[in-house]
Amino acid sequence: MFARVHDFDRMFGALDLIRHPAGGFLPGGIVANRSGEPESPLTNIYDKGDSFEVKVEVAGLDKSDLAISLQGDVLQIQGKLVCGPPEGFEVQRQERKNLNFSRQYRLPADVNLDGVQATLAEGFLVVNLPKAEAARVKEITIN
Amino acid sequence: MAATVANKNRETHSTISRYPRFRTPPVDIYEDDDGFLLQADMPGVKKEDLSVTVENGTLSLTGRRAFDSCGTICFEEFGPLGYRRSFSLPQSIDTAKVTAKLQAGVLHLSLPKSETVKSRVIEISHG
């Protein structure tokens, strides 16, 4: 019985590995901190041709609660949020959690460090990273 | 066995089935003498896509976030999503004075208590 459970476990483990097929960007492409911890914020990464767009779900976080850094092709996003009642209020229900996360993403190609821009709107952090000249698609005309 | 794996594989790759369609937003409720304060995480929802209604003593929060996938997906963990949650309101709340504010993906609701339920000393007359 347990051997069978183990078999299932292995099967799904294998499926996890092939879940993100695009561009060879497997979950293994993430450098650290993806051990299924719920405080790791959900992220989408898109290739927009000339740039990458990283979109992170960070509800309730303010500009001052976030720190973004980029080293080579590794983008790191850190955030902190303390939830609690305002002065004079008592807690009836507390489901939102305090956040303290640090997540790193390895980008699929080199980016131009100077052109990186980040915006925060409606609970989403959007980081726009223009690709380095060498990583851009270049059309070649045939003579 | 191989067929099962292939099916499962296809399922995980299709955008439709990969994410939950609805999420129950986590909610904090705080109380003081004057009323309640409710905070719900609803990232991505715009003001016009959110409805807060009070009907028959039930407060309903319904929101939907649109999803613009821009460019090729390198990595994706979330998709379009609806938010749904409802609460029974205590009689003590003055529903006409409920106010709502959407800030940084968090809905803030203020639910003041009505004047009639605020504590009051009643004098007893001798009969």
- From chain B residues 83-112, the ones with a CB under 8 A of any chain A CB are 104-106
- Is A57 a residue whose pLDDT tops 90? yes
Core vs surface per residue B61-70: b (16+ CB within 10 A) or e: bbbbbeeeee
pLDDT band, residue A7 (cuts 50/70/90): low
Cβ–Cβ gap A15/B28 under 8 Å: no
pLDDT band, residue B115 (cuts 50/70/90): confident
How far is CA A2 from each of CA A16, A101, B2, B4, rounded to the nearest angstrom?
21, 35, 22, 21
Cβ–Cβ gap A58/B37 under 8 Å: no
pLDDT band, residue B66 (cuts 50/70/90): confident
Cβ–Cβ gap B78/A60 under 8 Å: no
Token match 């927009």: residue? A48
Residue B76: name the closest of A29, A38, A58, A43 by CA. A43
- Is A32 a residue whose pLDDT tops 90? no
Average pLDDT over residues B2-11: 43
**E strand or H helix at A15:** helix A2-17
What does A48-111 look like in DSSP terms, one character per residue?
Answer: -SSEEEEEEE-TT--GGGEEEEEETTEEEEEEEE---PPTT-EEEEE-S--EEEEEEEE-SS-B
Radius of gyration over every alpha carbon of chain B, rounded to an integer in angstroms: 22
Say if CB B58 and CB B86 are below 8 A apart.
Answer: yes
- Is A52 a residue whose pLDDT tops 90? yes
Beta-carbon neighbour count of residue B78 at 10 Å? 21
Whether B61 has its CB under 8 Å from any CB of chain A: the answer is no
Residue of A46, A90, A124 with shortest CB distance to B69: A46
- Which pLDDT value is given to residue A135? 82
- Is A11 a residue whose pLDDT tops 60? no
pTM over the 0.90 mark: no
A80 against B71, higher pLDDT: A80
B60 against B127, higher pLDDT: B60
- Which pLDDT value is given to residue B117? 72
Residue of A25, A88, A123 with shortest CB distance to B106: A123
Residue of A19, A42, A47 with shortest CB distance to B74: A47
Whether A83 has its CB under 8 Å from any CB of chain B: the answer is yes
Chain A residues touching B37 at Cβ < 8 A: 85-86, 89
- Which pLDDT value is given to residue A16? 42
- Is B29 a residue whose pLDDT tops 90? yes
Ranking A36-45, A85-94, B80-89 by mean pLDDT, the lowest is A36-45
- Which pLDDT value is given to residue A37? 42
Cβ–Cβ gap A49/B71 under 8 Å: yes
Chain B residues touching A21 at Cβ < 8 A: 13
Whether B11 has its CB under 8 Å from any CB of chain A: the answer is no
Residue B44: name the closest of A42, A128, A76, A101 by CA. A42
Average pLDDT over residues A29-45: 58
Residue A125: name the closest of A46, A40, A52, A62 by CA. A62
Chain A residues touching B42 at Cβ < 8 A: 59, 123
The pLDDT tens digits of the residues spanning A117-126 come to 999 999 999 9
- Which pLDDT value is given to residue A33? 36
Residue A81: name the closest of A57, A104, A116, A105 by CA. A57
Average pLDDT over residues A82-110: 90
Beta-carbon neighbour count of residue B94 at 10 Å? 14
ipTM greater than 0.85, yes or no? no
Average pLDDT over residues B72-84: 88
pLDDT band, residue B70 (cuts 50/70/90): confident
Smallest CA–CA distance from A63 into chain B, residue: B104
A3 against B119, higher pLDDT: B119
Cβ–Cβ gap B41/A11 under 8 Å: no
